[in-house]
Structure 1
Amino acid sequence: MTTPIPAAGAAARENIFTGIRDAVLAALRALLPDLPEEALARVQVEPPRDPAHGDMATNAALVAAKPARMPPPRLAAQLAERLAALPEIAAAEPAGPGFVNLRLRESFLRAQIPVILRAGESYGDCDVGAGVRADVEYVSANPTGPMHVGHCRGAVVGDALANLLIKAGWRVTKEYYVNDAGAQVQALAYAAYWRYLQAIGTPLTEDEYAQLTPGGLQYRGEYLVPVGEALKARYGAALADEDAMPAGPTVWFDIVRDFAVDAMMAQIRDDLDALGVHHDVFVSERALVESGALERAEALLAAKGLIYRGILEPPKGKTPEDWEPREQELFRATLFGDEVDRPLRKSDGSGTYFANDIANHLDKIERGHQALIHVWGADHGGYVKRMQAAVQALSDGRATLEVVLTQIVHVVKGGQPVRMSKRAGTYVTLRDLIEEVGKDAVRFTMLTRKADAQMEFDLDKVVEQSRDNPVFYVQYAHARCRSVLRQAGDPPPAALAEAPLDRLTDASELALVRRLVSWPRVVEAAAVAREPHRIAFFLHDLAGDFHVLWNRGRDDSTLRFLRADEPEATRARLALVAATAGVIRSGLAVMGVTPVEEMR
């Protein structure tokens, strides 16, 4: 007998955990018609911590017991009795202080395979984001040099998070905020000018030039040599007249600064392209400031009574000798949970770093974004509260700011730290990493740890062909799936969706099915938690389930995928293999990793 096949369409995107939760809520309402909605909202259906307890567990009796004035175990027993009568449920058992453990019927699980096949890589798509407009700002490296491995982690986490939110129903803008104003860009201009002077044959030594430069020569990497040569090619020696030396830049400064920023951003875009990262919007800090965005933000905050003139207390750790109190324009950040009020203007009247960031966030809000999500290095953790305060004040709570912090990455090879890049001068560049192991290995590996956990990027491990290398392990599973399907002539998913799935009875086959049908819930949970590393974890577990089944077939011929003497079992297993390959591709698409067809 062939397993009934659900209809295509909306069901192709269904999360079975959501479906069972709806059934639990219906049973709870039938038992307790007067139960308040706030109690129902806290009902969850999740995988149990111990798989031996079943496929799902619900806390429904626990959250409903108090308003129902019933002991949780008693309510759990009544709820279990009702749930056990559902056609999807093989068993419902009360457990512990008030949980109900659920075991799904194997026929119901198998019936999800056609759903997966019909959906293809869109399986797992959901609308938990409800079309909310989200601006995901990530990378935003200062345009002062090549991207390094720290930027790489933020780029991968941000890009995967944006992909994940899109899959889960948010309307996402991928944004790069170009920090092209302030002291660091000024330092870049002086460094680029030094390379220009070298190109035209200046008699100054590097140290002599550094002494003439405000703040010294901060950027000494060889990556600016081509910038100096390009300046020479365009301007000849015209930028080096006597009045244009670094002690008093006038004519050359804006020209060199803009030229150097453009050159660095072109290099950054090339590096991001090599990593497979493409932003929708590049926003210039300097352009925002020049547009009057800071003044607009100040006027908006002042109209709400959130700006005043005042004197701040000395920062923690400062002594009276090195602290000069002065009256400043301050934002009332403490009204929104920050520790102190924050200054908006420097002594010279220009905006503080914080004030320019306020202008940046006002711009995002004015463009209609409701969820502002940033990916920052962990060293910016102390900056989060003040920016959240500003966003809340600017939007009257209509927009929210969330920050995902990424920790340091240590690159090692042969058990030793990798030497610094001579071209960059002080660090391992993103381009170095990609050229060493490839884009896909970089992206996958960067997602094998939670973003706020430090990680070691082992160059030897990420190219190792073993189960200890998650990149290889997942790609190998997909390659094995494709090998099986090619041997079978690549049957179309629509044909496999009609396979007699009741032939899938082995425990390892059903374990794989259970993993596959959990994918939509993983997408939803990972998106809500802003944790794209969960996708890598899921794919590793899914690959493990598939490899177990593959190895079972090598030991037991009755479990082989392709059997000439068992065409019906072969069709059913091909459906399972195709569904597995599709879910792996769906997950790799979120991660920005290209699935491989075969391993050599």
Structure 2
Amino acid sequence: MSETQTLHAAFAAKIDAVLDALEAEAVLPAGVARGNVAVEPPRDPAHGDLSTNAAMVLAKQAKTNPHALAEKLVEKLSTDPLIEAAEIAGPGFINLRLDDSNWLREIEAIAALQGDYGRSTRGAGRTVNVEYVSANPTGPMHMGHCRGAVVGDALAALLEYAGHPVVREYYVNDAGAQVQTLARSAHLRYREALGEDIGEIPEGFYPGDYLKPIGKALADEFGDSYVGAPESEWLTIFREKSVAAMMDMIRADLAMLGIHHDVFSSEAVLQAAGKPEAAEAWLRSHDLVYDGLLEAPKGKVLEDWEAVELPLFRSTRFGDDQDRPIRKSDGNWTYFGADLAYHMQKAEQADELIDIWGADHAGTVKRIKAAVAALSEGQGKPIPFDVKLVQMVQLLRNGEPVKMSKRSGNFITIADMVEEVGKDVVRFTMLTRKPEAQMDFDFAKVVEASKDNPVFYVQYAHARISSTLRKAAAEGITPSGDHLDLLGVDEMSLVKQAAQFPRQVEAAAQAREPHRIAFYLYDLAAAFHAYWNLGNDDAEKRIILTDNVDLTASRLFLAVQVAQVIRNGLALLGVEAVEEL
């Protein structure tokens, strides 16, 4: 194994080489598909250091049973001096026990690769478009947007680390009724800025104080030109100005979370460019849109329902339960029709699409997936498309629901959260549960200094290592990899946990689940704290032994590499490692 090749990559290559040999011996047919062959730690560490399913997934192609093929694999693997034992488990899994020299090399690999430890080429340069946040530009970013924003941003970083070029995209919904309401609300604040008493904000308008600066800017720019003017004269201008101001606010709010998008796609620009018409024409030419009668909503009895002929997309052809209209009866585009054109635009520029949506959009997933499936068919290539649904977060303070924000009018903003607990706490906490699971965010608990607070527990591991290094430096001892052979069983256990990081990155990227990295970091932090605590019961197991400089330097070298893995993992989550707490 070269000094910059990780252990999992090295043993995946060894398995591959053994399969090559079996092909040469005609035990396996030539060119057998190996895409599903995995090399990973077994679920139970007692079973060994690594496990492979090679015999299980290739036996059918070899026209034999998994156990027989596993015997052939074990026969060759057992001759490798870096493998202490190769054993068959169950119907054909192979467990490997590795020589300790492998783990010492892995410490050196982390030291050599540093920030690139765990980075892979598994993405093979396939471009992934990740669309996330995409909140309507009608107010500041709030808690309902925060979790999806963090999940999407961490997923984008994870995919890049795994070898994918990534496009981070925000879809600006600036063509619907809500932005018209925004313009009217801004006009109220504009009149207010000019001295008018506007009284109570009318129902249906946006009431938040965040519109006051926009009203002031409009007053400064236009004076009283539009105070008594008919709506037709100012609505478009005020809409464009208000949306631009809101997007500046949204970008600033996202920047507080360390989030920056590559592309902001405007629905208004999309429609002005005739993209929905082009999508409709293409779909009609492929018999995917037809003029038909819209069915009544399922499960509802509507006495005044009248069947209306509308252009319908054949979404039932792709698994939906009914065909969907792309235009309304007045000729305007439905949300689905506009979204279909938008996804068509994205599909032209990426190999894969991922959307991060709130769980309240679950009802539209099937139809959008049907649309992208149709586009894939038309483009002559499969375009994998995944929608990640993110559940809402309940805000608490010491177990009690949090009161609303004055700034927004009716919700807690991202700015409120970040200003109180910090970007890193918000980001890490949002990834401590699967996105489809409900989450409580308790302002008191997320800053608690305890093992029950994952943010603190992981940060504390890194800070503890930094503190240990400072204490050792005061004793004149620095980390060194010159005598790693002095490390024992306890250190090997810690290395094995750190060495899982590259595999965790690949698995998390493949599953599109960045929360796995947060879970892994907690486990690694727990492993380090357990190792550090050994010295509380046995003085000889303390990291710093002033009477044994070589062993201390080796233990420090290991600690440095554990800290590096923690930093790498935190960086994927958009969280900074701390030197002290």
TM-score, reference length from structure 1: 0.91
Correspondence 1:84 to 2:78: yes
Question: Larger deviation: 517-526 or 337-346?
Answer: 337-346
Change (3 A) 1:30 1:44: farther
Confirm or deny: 8 A CA contact 2:36 2:57 kept in the other structure.
yes
Give 1:489 deviation, angstroms: 4.4
Change (3 A) 1:283 1:67: closer
In 2, the alpha carbon distance for the partners of 1:8 and 1:575 equals 16
Change (3 A) 1:42 1:133: closer
Correspondence 1:308 to 2:295: no
Question: Larger deviation: 570-579 or 267-276?
Answer: 570-579
Give 1:85 deviation, angstroms: 2.1
Confirm or deny: 8 A CA contact 1:474 1:540 kept in the other structure.
yes
Confirm or deny: 8 A CA contact 1:25 1:40 kept in the other structure.
no
In 1, the alpha carbon distance for the partners of 2:346 and 2:13 equals 36
In 2, the alpha carbon distance for the partners of 1:204 and 1:462 equals 41
Summarize deviations over 1:171-191 as a string: whole Å, max 9, x none.
011111111110111111122
Confirm or deny: 8 A CA contact 2:398 2:445 kept in the other structure.
no
**What is residue 539 of structure 2 aligned with on the other side?**
557
Matches within 5 A, 1:267-286: 267-286=249-268
Matches within 5 A, 1:284-303: 284-303=266-285
In 2, the alpha carbon distance for the partners of 1:354 and 1:318 equals 21
Give 1:15 deviation, angstroms: 3.0
**What is residue 206 of structure 1 aligned with on the other side?**
200
In 1, the alpha carbon distance for the partners of 2:90 and 2:6 equals 35
Amino acid at match of 1:7: S
In 2, the alpha carbon distance for the partners of 1:413 and 1:139 equals 25
Correspondence 1:151 to 2:142: no
**What is residue 350 of structure 2 aligned with on the other side?**
369
**What is residue 107 of structure 1 aligned with on the other side?**
101
In 2, the alpha carbon distance for the partners of 1:594 and 1:42 equals 35
Give 1:20 deviation, angstroms: 4.9
Amino acid at match of 2:314: R
Secondary structure class of the residue paired with 1:240: coil
Change (3 A) 1:308 1:128: same
Q: In structure 2, which of residues 227, 235, 238 is the aligned counterpart of residue 240 of structure 1?
A: 227
Give 1:433 deviation, angstroms: 0.9
Q: In structure 2, which of residues 159, 165, 169 is the aligned counterpart of residue 165 of structure 1?
A: 159
Summarize deviations over 1:513-535 as a string: whole Å, max 9, x none.
00111111000000010000000
Correspondence 1:453 to 2:448: no
Q: In structure 2, which of residues 485, 503, 521 is the aligned counterpart of residue 521 of structure 1?
A: 503
In 2, the alpha carbon distance for the partners of 1:485 and 1:53 equals 35
Amino acid at match of 2:287: G
Correspondence 1:7 to 2:2: yes
Give 1:38 deviation, angstroms: 5.1
In 2, the alpha carbon distance for the partners of 1:134 and 1:151 equals 22
**What is residue 54 of structure 1 aligned with on the other side?**
48
Correspondence 1:412 to 2:400: no
Change (3 A) 1:522 1:344: same
Correspondence 1:358 to 2:340: yes
Correspondence 1:228 to 2:215: yes
**What is residue 364 of structure 2 aligned with on the other side?**
383
**What is residue 213 of structure 1 aligned with on the other side?**
none
Give 1:398 deviation, angstroms: 3.7
Question: Larger deviation: 560-569 or 175-184?
Answer: 560-569
Confirm or deny: 8 A CA contact 1:297 1:362 kept in the other structure.
yes
Amino acid at match of 1:382: G
Q: In structure 1, which of residues 172, 179, 187 is the aligned counterpart of residue 181 of structure 2?
A: 187
Confirm or deny: 8 A CA contact 1:307 1:332 kept in the other structure.
yes
Give 1:321 deviation, angstroms: 1.5
> Structure 1 stretches of 5 or more lacking a match?
1-5, 211-215
Amino acid at match of 1:381: A
**What is residue 34 of structure 1 aligned with on the other side?**
28
**What is residue 564 of structure 2 aligned with on the other side?**
582
Confirm or deny: 8 A CA contact 2:83 2:97 kept in the other structure.
yes
Amino acid at match of 1:446: M
In 2, the alpha carbon distance for the partners of 1:16 and 1:58 equals 13
Give 1:261 deviation, angstroms: 1.0
Change (3 A) 1:490 1:180: farther
Give 1:407 deviation, angstroms: 0.6
**What is residue 486 of structure 2 aligned with on the other side?**
503
Amino acid at match of 2:2: A
Correspondence 1:393 to 2:380: no
Amino acid at match of 2:240: D
**What is residue 462 of structure 1 aligned with on the other side?**
446
Secondary structure class of the residue paired with 1:345: coil
Confirm or deny: 8 A CA contact 1:40 1:64 kept in the other structure.
yes
Give 1:83 deviation, angstroms: 2.1
Secondary structure class of the residue paired with 1:136: strand
Change (3 A) 1:345 1:288: same
Confirm or deny: 8 A CA contact 2:40 2:50 kept in the other structure.
yes
Question: Larger deviation: 556-565 or 68-77?
Answer: 68-77
Give 1:230 deviation, angstroms: 2.2
In 2, the alpha carbon distance for the partners of 1:194 and 1:519 equals 55
Change (3 A) 1:88 1:13: closer
> Structure 2 stretches of 5 or more lacking a match?
none
In 1, the alpha carbon distance for the partners of 2:41 and 2:12 equals 12
Amino acid at match of 1:227: I
Give 1:98 deviation, angstroms: 2.4
Q: Percent identity?
A: 53
In 1, the alpha carbon distance for the partners of 2:23 and 2:147 equals 47
Confirm or deny: 8 A CA contact 1:391 1:399 kept in the other structure.
yes
Confirm or deny: 8 A CA contact 1:474 1:539 kept in the other structure.
yes
TM-score, reference length from structure 2: 0.94
Confirm or deny: 8 A CA contact 2:7 2:499 kept in the other structure.
no
Confirm or deny: 8 A CA contact 1:62 1:99 kept in the other structure.
yes
Amino acid at match of 2:508: A
Amino acid at match of 1:503: L
Summarize deviations over 1:129-149 as a string: whole Å, max 9, x none.
100111111111111111111
**What is residue 476 of structure 1 aligned with on the other side?**
460
Give 1:415 deviation, angstroms: 1.1
In 2, the alpha carbon distance for the partners of 1:257 and 1:327 equals 32
Confirm or deny: 8 A CA contact 1:29 1:35 kept in the other structure.
yes
Secondary structure class of the residue paired with 2:385: strand
Q: In structure 2, which of residues 324, 327, 342 is the aligned counterpart of residue 342 of structure 1?
A: 324
**What is residue 424 of structure 2 aligned with on the other side?**
440
Secondary structure class of the residue paired with 1:329: strand
Give 1:262 deviation, angstroms: 1.5
**What is residue 206 of structure 2 aligned with on the other side?**
219
